[in-house]
Structure 1
């Protein structure tokens, strides 16, 4: 080639520099991300001792592609079902921590005398921890099987989602320069609407699409299709006023619910790593060493704010969510850093030209320092906990223990909560779909028909008929679909207090439906005339076509639920499920064929007596043995589920070689769940052996909570008492049925 494009020369310089520097960082056992940043600093325009990038705008474009694929890969690891299964514990802690750190960042910026916009971005920058750094530290320190690791992973998921929301809100604030609450509420409502719409449409369409073309899909075509879907969603998100990062994240989270999610994730990893490297190098290129020296004071101050603030806020948030003090402290110190999302938020401020030049290098400097301190903070967890136990009053410690036990042992959900959730799902899902049809009609269908038909009244009538035909199944569900469950029935039977509110719920959903159809007519007619016509037409159409609409809607609903559940996502963290109310948890181990105990019975091994652990299940090839008896024999390559505390796991670990193993996803899924002893199950006064629980649930009683005391792995002669909280590991469906 006579003339080599500058972009290719720059890309060669970027990747060669990144490769050399990251090899050094791997040798020093430091995060690769930091190596990329240092490489960017070397090839950036601020350094003259090394060849410099020639086309900064071109590299910036490559960096934006890197952000897209970083968020796409993050979405593939994210799952809305994970949040639902993870419970409210991580959500409470994560939301509390993000809110407090955002406010703390804003206050710190104001203390330094910075402009309001810099302070807003600083709050977002220090609110989000680094998933990459935490994963790496857990690997190096062997903390993945600790129970608190599940809490940390749950908080990281909430933080990732909060980061996406912050990107949208900060973009809105930057463009409008308006801090009014109405503008923010409108932006949040718009974001919520499009998130629901994209997720519902994506789950309805994409899994079915992949099923139909699975015989045509090779690795190459799957990679091209998935990247194409990602970029299409990026374009759609940008067209409605959101960031490219949000579109990539949403498409990743939709594909995460499909059966090809793992395959896509593996194929995209190399693309993500390549463009991600370019992005992080571009981060380093924007660093001005002189500014770092000039603002060394703010860097150190904000570093202290991050380490102390995140440790304190995560700990308090975990305590509020019902976690014990020790696990709360461990979670707090683990998240005392900032990382990838902080760079993305800082880059957003630069791209929008709304933040000062010093904010970006300060954010990078704080990230570098907190990355180095993270492993040491994790090692500080136990000494910090022991110190707190010594200095805190005994009354406080007892109160924390009581609160933790009480929070974990409260009945899962009240009848009203479950009924309201059911009504909320019906209203939100069908309301979003109805509004989407109205907008589709207003912006696309009606203008197209008006161009094709000269008669304005006829064009309007045709547009309304088409829109109403499309939205009719959703209107039927919004108005008529029954919430059939034992919870709604039990509330209805208590007619003294509950029938009035239940009737109000029914009236409210019908009023919402009329208003939504009125919204359609309002695009063409006056408000009150729209409402009146909507009420009359809906009553007539739904009365005549109710059964047909019900059948059609049930087909839509069945397809959506089937697609959603095609890939059953279980919220496990490296073979451990975060479910128990104290330190006991499930961990999974592969049995090596070279171990001495191969071929021995469980009764002869006496693991329970020696280490305090229980064997919850054994997976042997295609066979799945639930709650094995003491006569069961251990064979090579068995996958065993073990329940015990952190200390018991640590004692047991040398006995068996641990490997990460996939959990069984067939219908006989093993879970850890609880029941409360009462008149409804007739367990009071019965021993564990005579209660029939093992036979009815295919389960094993592994814990009892009684009057604030906890009995782990109780003896089979233990009698149940009224109001005991009984923890069972066994068949998920049978426990729920019981």
Structure 2
């Protein structure tokens, strides 16, 4: 009889149990993750009703591979550009939740008499919600398009990055066994440094590689290359001192910016599903049912803390961010569970041997309970809001509404803000690149040249020359490059600010000299370094133009790779209809365009220019075949179908700017807000329709809602008659609306 390795037998047992539980949980319409965990529990060493796995150590290796693929897949869905686009509201809510749950988890552990490390890891486990479970619940309940769902997705994106940071911090804490502020700060800075280096290098190199080799790649080749890149980054992360899962996540996020992202995600789904299933089954294998029974009390307490803590923290964060009571409560009720990352953090504690055996099964039990409660929590969010609204005093509700309206005021961006932001980004990015080049030269290039090419001072000079060749374009960019040249020029025109601009420029030059000194100090003696340093500065000045051209080519390639997906999507939307010489093209609506705020009916685009607006893209929302009542907003992307002549005429129209309202000393930019106006008995607006009221003409604003006899009307019809006691909600310039209010009162007095 042929001997079958234990690994093969264990794998067959695991996948067989997982397959049966998958079918069962699909039938019951429950999350598959719970099915995998129960499958692991049944084939684990603690239950003897079914065949049991033989070698747990081998399964743990497979499970670690499963974590790598889970994080790689998560990175493919993550994208750092999504993180940049996440609004401040989602960031505030996620920050509030993580801080509160870390604190509550720690205090709960201490209350239960657990050790410090158990309590800290419990806080980390409770602070991250389950992306998979929330998305599934939204899909089943048909709520993905709701406003609060967009906020929740933003919160989950921020949480993904926080989870990576927590893994690094908890690993550092586990090694040091104490809360050392310096070590924690060092770990965070080290993580930030390598994140920037890997992201910049990855975006510069990998999309170019995939583009050059695209003709050679079928699905099989692309799968192999993608997994190879994933594991290369895993190895690199491990060599630097981070967890392998972090490397997988970073490579996934880099590939998410390429034109092959969707295809890679599609072809790696089956591999991720396979190893992900093994990971979750291994989670169940480690569960001891007796431990769950013994810790039933702590499990119940932690479940209550999770449900209540996440609800309160997210709701509070939403209110602080000005999202209104209803949206905040709905968001808080949606994230009241723990999931995949919580398992990974719990596994980290076991792997590092710093947490007790009971913490892992407790975390899994809490996850299972909160997973089952998630759909019910989401359904109950609106009834809870109505109950809270009834209980709160009327003045509190009014104050919350006023704060929410005020928090959503649109503010203009000053020239100083643009310039300082560009200086800050440039300083961070180029400093990271230059430090990385110097470290590489000191750790690898100099030893190689010194041992194999030339020794002594000349070896240091050769190393310096090669390194500076790579550093030169980034030194030039750090010292000379001005991304916001126009804004800086406007500031320079004001003589009062010229001294500040000069100080900033000299600061940039000083930092660049420090980096050159940093390099010279690592490979040369002080005397030689001073002579070579002066020579280097002279060369940089002489060859400034060539260095500039080289940097611009580098920047163009990086930006092309970074925006490749958007460029590809735009090209796919551009098709030509040969018989009529018509084609599809797109325009982005600037905030100053004459079309802003107007409906399709008012613009009469088809009648005046002969083109059709086929699609409007608004953020993450796509409006197909927009109706005549659809209004145009700043930042909208309009997809227009027509001939070259028709599109050119429309382009000239859409790029026409509104007449500037800057008269009598006013500025061209105004703050925008949601303002309330009550129609009194002597108001000039009384008994007039919305159209006749002249609100649009007098305030440059728009009536977006009317409260009439206790009924709320959103986007009221233009023929609606205004009556005494009506409350108008107007989006526009606050001072203009106040001026209108004064005008109506004066008209009544006359």
User: Do the two structures share a fold, i.e. TM-score over 0.5?
Assistant: yes
1:412 shift after superposition: 4.9
Q: Distance between the aligned counterparts of 1:341 and 1:464, measured in 2?
A: 44
- Where does residue 203 of structure 2 map in the other structure? 203
Q: Does 1:18 align with 2:14?
A: no
Q: Does 1:558 align with 2:560?
A: no
Check 1:628–1:240 CA distance in 2 against 1; reply closer, same or farther (3 A cut).
closer
Q: Distance between the aligned counterparts of 2:212 and 2:163, measured in 1?
A: 35
- Pairs within 5 Å for 1:708-719: 712=715, 715=718
Check 1:150–1:664 CA distance in 2 against 1; reply closer, same or farther (3 A cut).
farther
Q: Deviation per CA, 1:330-383, whole angstroms, max 9, x where unpaired? A: 100000000010000000100111101111011001101100111111111111
- Pairs within 5 Å for 1:384-463: 384-453=384-453, 455-463=455-463
- Where does residue 521 of structure 1 map in the other structure? 520
Q: Does 1:482 align with 2:469?
A: no
1:477 shift after superposition: 0.5
Q: Deviation per CA, 1:363-404, whole angstroms, max 9, x where unpaired? A: 001101100111111111111111221222333222222222
- Where does residue 323 of structure 1 map in the other structure? 323
- Where does residue 696 of structure 1 map in the other structure? none
- Pairs within 5 Å for 1:21-60: 21-60=21-60
Q: Does 1:626 align with 2:625?
A: no
- Where does residue 367 of structure 1 map in the other structure? 367
Check 1:678–1:376 CA distance in 2 against 1; reply closer, same or farther (3 A cut).
farther
2:542 corresponds, among 523, 541, 544, to 544
- Pairs within 5 Å for 1:65-80: 65-80=65-80
Contact 1:617 1:626 in 2 (8 A): no
Contact 2:419 2:484 in 1 (8 A): no
Pairwise CA RMSD of aligned residues? 3.8
Check 1:410–1:535 CA distance in 2 against 1; reply closer, same or farther (3 A cut).
farther
1:501 shift after superposition: 3.4
Q: Does 1:509 align with 2:494?
A: no
* TM-score calculated relative to the size of structure 2: 0.79
Contact 2:25 2:35 in 1 (8 A): yes
Contact 1:226 1:264 in 2 (8 A): yes
Q: Deviation per CA, 1:89-117, whole angstroms, max 9, x where unpaired? A: 21121122112211221121112121111
Check 1:721–1:382 CA distance in 2 against 1; reply closer, same or farther (3 A cut).
closer
The higher relative CO (CA closer than 8 Å, separation ≥ 6) is in 1
Q: Distance between the aligned counterparts of 1:554 and 1:688, measured in 2?
A: 53
Q: Distance between the aligned counterparts of 1:665 and 1:152, measured in 2?
A: 33
Contact 2:93 2:314 in 1 (8 A): yes
Greater radius of gyration (CA): 2
Check 1:502–1:108 CA distance in 2 against 1; reply closer, same or farther (3 A cut).
farther
Check 1:115–1:722 CA distance in 2 against 1; reply closer, same or farther (3 A cut).
closer
Check 1:338–1:644 CA distance in 2 against 1; reply closer, same or farther (3 A cut).
farther
Q: Deviation per CA, 1:314-344, whole angstroms, max 9, x where unpaired? A: 1111222221211111100000000010000
Q: Distance between the aligned counterparts of 1:91 and 1:615, measured in 2?
A: 38
- Pairs within 5 Å for 1:308-319: 308-319=308-319
1:639 corresponds, among 624, 640, 648, to 624
1:704 shift after superposition: 5.8
Q: Distance between the aligned counterparts of 1:441 and 1:413, measured in 2?
A: 41
- Where does residue 260 of structure 2 map in the other structure? 260
Q: Distance between the aligned counterparts of 2:532 and 2:396, measured in 1?
A: 59
Check 1:568–1:192 CA distance in 2 against 1; reply closer, same or farther (3 A cut).
same
Contact 1:97 1:310 in 2 (8 A): yes
1:250 shift after superposition: 0.2
- Where does residue 237 of structure 2 map in the other structure? 237
1:541 shift after superposition: 2.4
Contact 2:6 2:55 in 1 (8 A): yes
Q: Deviation per CA, 1:596-655, whole angstroms, max 9, x where unpaired? A: xxxxxxxxxxxxxxxxx999999x9xx9943899xxxxxxx993357999xxxxxxxxxx
1:428 shift after superposition: 1.4
Contact 1:676 1:723 in 2 (8 A): no
1:703 shift after superposition: 6.8
Check 1:8–1:570 CA distance in 2 against 1; reply closer, same or farther (3 A cut).
same
Contact 1:337 1:374 in 2 (8 A): yes
Q: Does 1:139 align with 2:160?
A: no
Q: Distance between the aligned counterparts of 1:321 and 1:244, measured in 2?
A: 35
- Pairs within 5 Å for 1:41-120: 41-120=41-120
Contact 1:677 1:720 in 2 (8 A): no
Q: Deviation per CA, 1:411-441, whole angstroms, max 9, x where unpaired? A: 1534333222211221111111111110110
Listed as ranges, the gaps of 5+ residues in structure 1 are 572-612, 630-636, 646-661, 694-699, 727-738
Contact 1:234 1:248 in 2 (8 A): yes
Q: Distance between the aligned counterparts of 2:659 and 2:422, measured in 1?
A: 24
Contact 2:292 2:365 in 1 (8 A): yes
Question: Which has the larger displacement, 716-725 or 515-524?
Answer: 716-725
- Where does residue 584 of structure 1 map in the other structure? none
How many equivalent pairs are there?
A: 642
- Where does residue 299 of structure 1 map in the other structure? 299
Q: Distance between the aligned counterparts of 1:98 and 1:643, measured in 2?
A: 44
Question: Which has the larger displacement, 401-410 or 267-276?
Answer: 401-410
Q: Distance between the aligned counterparts of 1:363 and 1:473, measured in 2?
A: 51
Q: Report the 3-state secondary structure (helix = DSSP H, G, I; strand = E; otherwise coil) of the residue aligned with 2:625.
A: strand
Contact 1:703 1:711 in 2 (8 A): no
Check 1:472–1:714 CA distance in 2 against 1; reply closer, same or farther (3 A cut).
farther
Contact 1:100 1:313 in 2 (8 A): yes
Q: Does 1:181 align with 2:184?
A: no
Q: Report the 3-state secondary structure (helix = DSSP H, G, I; strand = E; otherwise coil) of the residue aligned with 2:523.
A: coil
- Pairs within 5 Å for 1:335-346: 335-346=335-346
Check 1:50–1:539 CA distance in 2 against 1; reply closer, same or farther (3 A cut).
same
- Where does residue 8 of structure 2 map in the other structure? 8
Question: Which has the larger displacement, 7-16 or 78-87?
Answer: 78-87
Q: Report the 3-state secondary structure (helix = DSSP H, G, I; strand = E; otherwise coil) of the residue aligned with 1:280.
A: helix
Check 1:372–1:477 CA distance in 2 against 1; reply closer, same or farther (3 A cut).
same
Listed as ranges, the gaps of 5+ residues in structure 2 are 570-598, 617-621, 631-636, 642-646, 672-689, 707-711, 721-727, 738-750
- Where does residue 653 of structure 1 map in the other structure? none
- Where does residue 171 of structure 2 map in the other structure? 171
Contact 1:677 1:721 in 2 (8 A): no
- Where does residue 193 of structure 1 map in the other structure? 193
- Pairs within 5 Å for 1:697-708: none
- Where does residue 676 of structure 2 map in the other structure? none
* TM-score calculated relative to the size of structure 1: 0.80
Check 1:549–1:176 CA distance in 2 against 1; reply closer, same or farther (3 A cut).
same
Q: Distance between the aligned counterparts of 1:325 and 1:523, measured in 2?
A: 58
Contact 1:616 1:640 in 2 (8 A): no
- Where does residue 122 of structure 1 map in the other structure? 122
Q: Distance between the aligned counterparts of 1:335 and 1:154, measured in 2?
A: 12
Q: Distance between the aligned counterparts of 1:282 and 1:616, measured in 2?
A: 62
- Where does residue 573 of structure 2 map in the other structure? none
Q: Distance between the aligned counterparts of 2:472 and 2:381, measured in 1?
A: 57
1:701 shift after superposition: 9.4
Contact 2:520 2:533 in 1 (8 A): no
Contact 2:613 2:638 in 1 (8 A): no
Check 1:624–1:56 CA distance in 2 against 1; reply closer, same or farther (3 A cut).
farther
